[in-house]
Structure 1
């Protein structure tokens, strides 16, 4: 094996380690943060009060509603899929890299959430049994497609635009169809927060897309 081959091999190993590490760390951080925010929300809830039960809320509870929603977990896989890919990669390579990262991130998130919940609750059961098997299956099944969508964010044109809009559109739809929350007040505040953030993000993304397309067309006319 030549020095160049050894160098390429070491570089490939470092790249794979960085890939696995970054996806796992991002997922674990999200899962642990979600569990801790849920715990903070529960500790501040006065469920013995009828008034609080039916209309009370706290900042921690709103954060919990946002973080522990299906769209946020899906968004984790999309974002990690975007982060591990590079502009100019061939689509099959980028999609495969993003899909793998999405699965790793969601598995790490479920694992971290389970570990923190187990430690915090002092459960005698193994940490991997603290969450339903469905979540592990969902991480394996959905992490790949969602991560592949994230890998398409860097693609030019309509493909990149649609991939970028996946998370905010999904968030807005979920908050409209199945808003999470313990009571109507929490649901309403969560909807306002998510809809406002989603609308602002989509507005910026669409405006940027329009400006880039205008510049591209203008450059094409000048070179024609």
Structure 2
């Protein structure tokens, strides 16, 4: 995949995170375009929507978009730029969807939006650079690969059981377990990949026959 396409893919990841977060929050909100439909569907769906809203607002989800964008492009400079662009796309998509779902002019959200540009650039550069190191040999590549899954597991552990103002209830406990399971699996894959990569680079490793399958 050529670099412009990789950057576009990173933008799509960021925009997807922003749209998903906005929809999840709107579904759990007491008012708005989706509130009535969720309320009519019953309390179980409201709990699921509320749990999804808590997760969608988690830092690791947004950080993961920037890390993924950096990983897609694969170099430090391009990764830093891709990380920033992914967070810009996520933020723009989030507020754009909010404008539609709450029927509020986008200009009315500008005050809230303009306060986030500086941290967005800073974290985009850092996280995109980290993402560009994923798959690289050595400790840096290993730590980069573990950053998002470990962050997700830690943040899930710190989530309150019953967040104030949320109807998530027991659904959040199931979501927490799913996050831990996914984070554990992702960490396992990263560790195995790092071990295999190190083994393949080890001097004096016996060569396999040409017809062997790895």
TM-score (norm 1): 0.73
| Match 1:202 to one of 179, 182, 187 | 187
**Is residue 2:150 matched to residue 1:169?**
yes
Alpha-carbon shift at residue 144 of structure 1 (Å): 0.4
Matched residue, 2:211: none
Which residue of structure 2 aligns with residue 4 of structure 1? none
Query: Following TM superposition, by how much is the alpha carbon of 1:34 offset from its aligned partner in structure 2, in angstroms?
Result: 2.0
Pairing partner for 2:67 from 58, 63, 78: 78
- In the TM superposition, residue 107 of structure 1 has moved relative to its aligned partner by 0.8
* Equivalent residue, structure 1, for 2:199: 214
Shift of 1:192: 1.2
Which aligned pairs between 1:138-149 and structure 2 lie closer than 5 A? Answer: 138-149=119-130
The answer on 1:117 being equivalent to 2:98 is yes
Count the aligned residue pairs: 194
Q: Secondary structure at the match of 2:64?
A: helix
CA–CA separation in structure 1 for the residues paired with 2:175 and 2:59: 13
Aligned to 2:210: none
With over 3 angstroms needed to count, the CA separation of the structure-2 counterparts of 1:150 and 1:126, relative to structure 1, is same
Q: Deviations over 1:30-77 (max 9, x none)?
A: 21222123223443665xx9xx6xx99533333333332111000100
Going from structure 1 to structure 2, the CA distance change for 1:130 and 1:151 (only over 3 Å counts) comes to same
Q: CA deviation at 1:20?
A: 5.0
Q: Which runs of 5 or more structure 2 residues have no equivalent in the other structure?
A: 30-34, 208-214
Cα distance between partner residues in 1 of 2:146 and 2:195: 14
Work out the CA distance in 2 between the residues paired with 1:119 and 1:168: 32
CA deviation digits over 1:6-31, x for unaligned, max 9?
xxxxxxxxx67546533333322321
Is residue 100–residue 147 contact of structure 1 (8 Å, CA) maintained in 2?
yes
SS of the counterpart of 2:99? Answer: helix
Q: Which has the larger radius of gyration?
A: 1
Maintained 8 Å contact 2:95/2:106 = no
Structure 1: tracts of 5 or more residues without a match: 1-14, 86-93
- Give the aligned partner of residue 68 of structure 1: 57
| Cα-to-partner distance string for 1:111-151 (whole Å, 9 max, x where unaligned) | 11101101221114516527454433321111100000000
